Structure 1
Amino acid sequence: MFDLFSTAQPWTVLKLLRDHRFAGTGAWSDDDLIQRNSDGFSHCISWNFMTTFSKGRTRRGSGHANYPEDCILVVHPGWKTFCASHASERITQHKEAPNLRGLRLYSRNASLDVIGKYVDAFCYNLYGQWSPACKASAFAAEVGEPLIVTEYYAKGMDAVGLSNRCGAGWCVPPQADRGLFYQNFCLDLMESKICLAWHWFKYQDNDPTDTTKAPSNLNSKKRNKGILDNHTIIRIRRCWTG
């Protein structure tokens, strides 16, 4: 994908995204470049509180940072001061009605009613559901705020070169069924009336030959996450068009 767009003008990339009905970009995109060359294409900023605070103390892990003794540094004596300062700085930079989403949740590992006191909406990685409305509605009722689904996807078992032996995505036989999964999933969320937005986990499949990326990119971790393959836009045509 980088080879396709490394020499392209930013506006041509934005046109491609809009042509395929994308309304914005997700985390880890080049937000500064996009905003300099667009008329307000929406984007998602990752603040990275814990990894920023822990810089120099962690090792690279499979899709995340590995902390000392597998314990985040939330009890470190400097954490509270850093957290308050980091949040104040970011909110000041984006002070035009910031929308606070809090932590990205992925299981019942938090007091949902407590989170609801501090956020305008809550983020959740919603896996293990073909039709997610019931689970989403139950969580939203507990939090007391609307939901943004930050991760979900389906893996096509016919993806050449990708083992799909791991990953939380729903497994379907051919690529076309990934489109059916997407359609049903999103329609169910819309009917729930408590979901503000959803974010398919990955725009493009990982390149399993790129050894500079995270370990989740390699070997047995190879899985069909993206709506694009490593070279072309063929997955969009096969999955998302009628």
Structure 2
Amino acid sequence: MALELVTVPCLSDNYAFLLQDDASGATAVVDVPEAAPILETASARGWTITEVWITHHHADHTQGLADVLAEHKAVVRGGAADAHKLPPLDHTYSGEDLFDFAGHEVRVIDVPGHTTGHIAFYVADAAAVFTADSLMALGCGRLFEGTAEQMWGSLTRLMALPAETTVCSGHEYTASNAKFALTIDPDNPKLISRSVAINAARAAGEATVPSTLALEMDTNPFLRASNPDIRAHLGMTDAADVQVFAEIRARKDAF
């Protein structure tokens, strides 16, 4: 039962993702920043969208929904905590809930911080997690509604997934995130190498999303609060991990 994953650039720097089960033709789209590129990508592949999975309520992840549903009679899934802020949902979920997608188990993970009702979707059969604005390529979402403690807990849950997991995040912020990351972790050779590769990819007009969890854990400063070099660089050798994370997040807000 093979699954095919397609990244769809939307708006100026958003991403949606199409996930199709080859055997049944069932096709899910994760987040709907705008309809046109999603519909065009599905049409070009001859796919019918059967499900929409929404990670959180921000307009740049939901505003294309009505136009997608006008062409595809899809089931809409989203977080229970955000249901009052989201378009009408057919099914709502909280952390560690499971649902079936064409015979594939989908695990919902609560990832508050960017918003209090943010969820992620983990599909083991695709070795992919859809994190939107929680864990991002070399970053994490700004804390618009939640706390540093909540976001650190969210990232800790995501870090527990298999290292080979593909991280499908919601924005093309990676180049600017890399510049910031180098101010926190300047002597990390893997980060330096990744930064060079990111700049080359962007110069060629290529996407830097998705990434992998292993790469994020090696290079993303928001996942590396326990790293002794980062702690020494910040002058926080004896601080709790969540305090180090909060300091990194505060520095990014002012960067």
Do the two structures share a fold, i.e. TM-score over 0.5?
Answer: no
Task: Pick the structure with more strand per residue.
Answer: 2
Larger RCO, structures 1/2 (Cα 8 Å, 6+ apart): 1
Q: Report the TM-score, using the length of structure 1 for normalisation.
A: 0.29
| Structure of larger gyration radius | 1
